């Protein structure tokens, strides 16, 4: 049996290079252990303000309505959709992976009229198709996943904004695997609603969903005809807690907010652009290594995510055995494919703290060994050499 408990009863630190969560720093881990404060304690209230200010800095926005939703990334997704869709509203969802599918499903549960533009898993959305669908249905909201974690494919957001401008639609973006790992500019790109998760490029444990809402979208929210179907995620109430009133709505997950504050401080201290560049550098090194080993990336270069790399599993190699060997012999997690990509790709995360050159080299070495056990032989050390000199 594989276990993360060492013989002395302590825990070993798994190297998390899957689709998230990523590893967290000692500073974030220590932050969680801070003594609790009450959720209306003046010290906690000022910590909330700090979090909001830092969230604005990493989202690159001046949006007033910027806060961490209590819950994982899916809570961010639900909050984004339930607050900005009313029954019978038209919404256009770009689907090219599991998380686009999930957005469409949540939108259906809002009783919206959902239209979907689909691309095969591994391919980018066809923007011409998205444009003509938008022109036809004039949707109230266009929703896309910026970084599809299930496939490793990027959706360029500026062209989607131009489509929304033609039709007067709000642009709603899933930024779960992009925030703090690859360029995301809420204000410059005119994104109306964006949500993320803490456990990816922010390198915080799962449990909060940073969310930001433009003034234009906040006005739509204020002018809704019907009540938001979810009491817990109703932003008009949640923002009374996170806004100047600081009125109790629900008990904030205090320790998670400590962790988020520390993670945001680290991101801002590193510098957002420098952090993006680090993700890019390590992604490119990984690609160089993968290709030198005679393997192939699944996604075409222009649309590859720096945070999540999909690698085609070579013919005759067993997906699960390789992942189990990496876990057992190298204490290293990578992800398998989701949906139609199950058994066809590995998903290698290089997110936040996990995006380090030493991790790239260690993974390539481990993969070479795991592949050799499968009878797939790469040039010895070739992957590591190519990554190190990329
Ligand atoms: N959206 C994307 C792009 C994701 O990658 C994920 C999780 O991996 C989610 C939404 C859902 O987030 P969570 O699993 O934290 O609820």
pLDDT at 1 over 60: no
What's the DSSP call for residue 378?
A: P
Taking a C-beta distance cutoff of 8 angstroms, is the pair 346, 311 a contact?
A: yes
For residue 200, report the distance from its CA to the centre of ligand 1, in Å: 9
Query: Helix 357-373 crosses helix 319-330 at what angle (to 10 degrees)?
Result: 120
Cα–Cα distance between 335 and 252 in angstroms, integer?
31
C-alpha distances in Å from residue 356, one per residue of 79, 80, 149:
33, 32, 19
The reply to whether ligand 1 has any atom less than 6 angstroms from the CB of 196 is no
Q: Specify the residue with its C-alpha closest to ligand 1, atom 12.
A: 73
Share of the chain above pLDDT 90, in %: 96
- Ligand 1: residue of 76, 81, 121, 177 to mutate (most ligand atoms within 8 A of CB) is 177
pLDDT for 221 beyond 70: yes
Ligand 1: does its nearest atom lie under 6 Å from the Cβ of 98? no
pLDDT of 317? 97
Beta carbon of 210 within 6 Å of any ligand 1 atom: no
| Distance of alpha carbon 184 from alpha carbon 125, whole angstroms | 18
Write down the H helix ranges in the chain: 26-32, 42-59, 73-84, 98-109, 127-137, 157-167, 215-222, 235-242, 254-270, 272-292, 319-330, 357-373, 382-388
Nearest CA to 293 out of 378, 360, 363 is that of 378
Angle made by CA atoms 209, 214, 216, in degrees to the nearest 5: 140
Cβ contact 262:255 at 8 Å: no
Q: How far is CA 255 from the centre of its chain?
A: 21
- Asked whether 354 lines ligand 1 (CB < 6 A), one says no
> Quick check: CB of 20 below 6 Å from ligand 1?
yes
**Mean pLDDT, to the nearest integer, of 37-61?**
97
Q: Which atom of ligand 1 is nearest to the CA of 19?
A: 8
* Residue to substitute in 74, 179, 210 for testing ligand 1 pocket (most ligand atoms within 8 angstroms of CB): 74
pLDDT at residue 6, rounded to an integer: 80
**pLDDT tens digit string along 108-129?**
999 999 999 999 999 999 999 9
The CA distance from 361 to 385, in Å, is: 9
Strand-pairing partners, residue 213, are 65, 193
Return phi, psi of residue 294, to 5°.
85, 15
Q: Are strands 193-195 and 208-213 parallel, antiparallel or unpaired?
A: antiparallel
User: Do 186 and 157 touch, CB atoms closer than 8 A?
Assistant: no
| Ligand 1 center to 44 CA (angstroms) | 27
pLDDT at 2: 56
**Does the beta carbon of 197 lie inside 6 Å of ligand 1?**
yes
Structure-model confidence comparison of residues 7 and 365, the more confident one? 365
| Residue 209 CA, closest ligand 1 atom number | 15
pLDDT single digits (tens) 173-194: 999 999 999 999 999 999 999 9
Mode of pairing for the β-strands spanning 90-95 and 193-195? unpaired
Please, is 314 exposed, middle or buried when counting C-beta atoms within 10 Å of its C-beta (0-12, 13-18, 19+)?
Answer: middle
Q: Is 24 left (phi over 0), alpha (psi -120 to 50) or beta?
A: beta
Tell me the C-alpha to C-alpha distance, in Å, between residue 228 and each of 6, 78, 108, 191, 237: 48, 11, 14, 21, 10
Q: How many CA atoms lie within 13 A of 291 on its CB side?
A: 13
Residue 301 in 3-state DSSP? Answer: helix
Burial 178-204 (b: 16+ CB within 10 A, else e): bbbbbbbebeebbbbbbbbbbbbbbbb
Beta-bridge partners for 94: 117
Ligand 1 atom at shortest distance from the alpha carbon of 75: 16
The pLDDT tens digits of the residues spanning 339-359 come to 889 999 999 999 999 999 999
* Higher pLDDT, residue 264 or 1: 264
CA of 144 from ligand 1 middle (Å) equals 13
* Residue 208 CB–ligand 1 contact under 6 Å: no
Distance CA 95, CA 133 (A): 13
| Closest C-alpha residue for ligand 1 atom 9 | 73
> Which pLDDT tens digit goes with each residue over 268-327?
999 999 999 999 999 999 999 999 999 999 999 999 999 999 999 999 999 999 999 999
Decide if pLDDT at 20 tops 80. Answer: yes
Could you tell me the pLDDT band of residue 8, with boundaries at 50, 70 and 90?
confident
Ligand 1 centroid to residue 173 C-alpha, Å: 12
For the chain, what percent of residues have pLDDT higher than 70?
99
Cα→Cα distances 150→309, 310, 335, 345, 373, Å: 10, 9, 10, 10, 27
- The string of pLDDT tens digits covering residues 62-117 is 999 999 999 999 999 999 999 999 999 999 999 999 999 999 999 999 999 999 99
- Whether 159 shows a pLDDT value over 70: the answer reads yes
């Amino acid at each position: 049996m594989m276990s993360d408990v060492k013989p002395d009863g302590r825990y070993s630190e798994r190297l998390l290079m899957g689709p998230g969560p990523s590893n967290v720093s000692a500073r974030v881990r220590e932050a969680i252990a801070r003594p609790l404060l009450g959720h209306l304690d003046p010290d906690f209230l000022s910590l909330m303000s700090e979090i909001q200010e830092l969230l604005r800095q990493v989202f690159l926005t001046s949006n007033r309505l910027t806060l961490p939703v209590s819950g994982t990334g899916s809570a961010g997704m639900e909050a984004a959709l339930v607050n900005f869709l009313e029954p019978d509203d038209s919404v256009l969802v770009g689907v090219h992976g599991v998380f686009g599918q999930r957005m469409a499903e949540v939108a259906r549960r809002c009783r919206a009229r959902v239209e979907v533009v689909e691309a095969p898993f591994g391919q980018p959305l066809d923007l011409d198709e998205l444009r003509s669908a938008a022109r036809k249905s004039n949707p109230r909201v266009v929703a896309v996943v910026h970084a599809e974690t299930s496939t490793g494919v990027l959706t360029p957001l500026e062209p989607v904004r131009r489509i929304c401008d033609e039709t007067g639609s709000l642009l709603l973006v899933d930024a779960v695997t992009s925030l703090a790992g690859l360029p995301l500019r809420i204000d410059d790109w005119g994104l109306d609603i964006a949500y993320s998760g803490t456990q990816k490029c922010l390198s915080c444990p799962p449990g909060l969903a940073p969310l930001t809402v433009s003034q234009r979208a906040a006005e739509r929210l204020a002018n809704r005809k019907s009540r938001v179907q979810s009491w817990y995620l109703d932003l008009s109430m949640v923002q009374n807690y996170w806004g100047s009133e600081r009125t109790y709505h629900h008990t904030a997950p205090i320790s998670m907010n400590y962790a988020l504050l520390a993670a945001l401080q680290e991101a801002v201290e590193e510098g957002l652009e420098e952090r993006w560049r680090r993700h890019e550098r390590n992604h490119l090194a990984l690609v160089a290594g993968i290709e030198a080993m005679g393997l192939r990336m699944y996604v075409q270069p222009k649309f590859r995510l720096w945070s999540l790399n999909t690698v085609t599993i070579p013919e005759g190699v067993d997906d699960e055995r390789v992942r189990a060997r990496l876990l057992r012999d190298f204490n290293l997690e990578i992800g398998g494919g989701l949906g139609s990509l199950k058994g066809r790709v590995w998903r290698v995360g290089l997110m936040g703290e996990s995006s380090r050159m030493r991790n790239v080299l260690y993974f390539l070495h481990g993969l070479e060994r795991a592949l050799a056990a499968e009878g797939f032989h790469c040039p010895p050390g070739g992957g590591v050499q190519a990554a190190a000199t990329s």
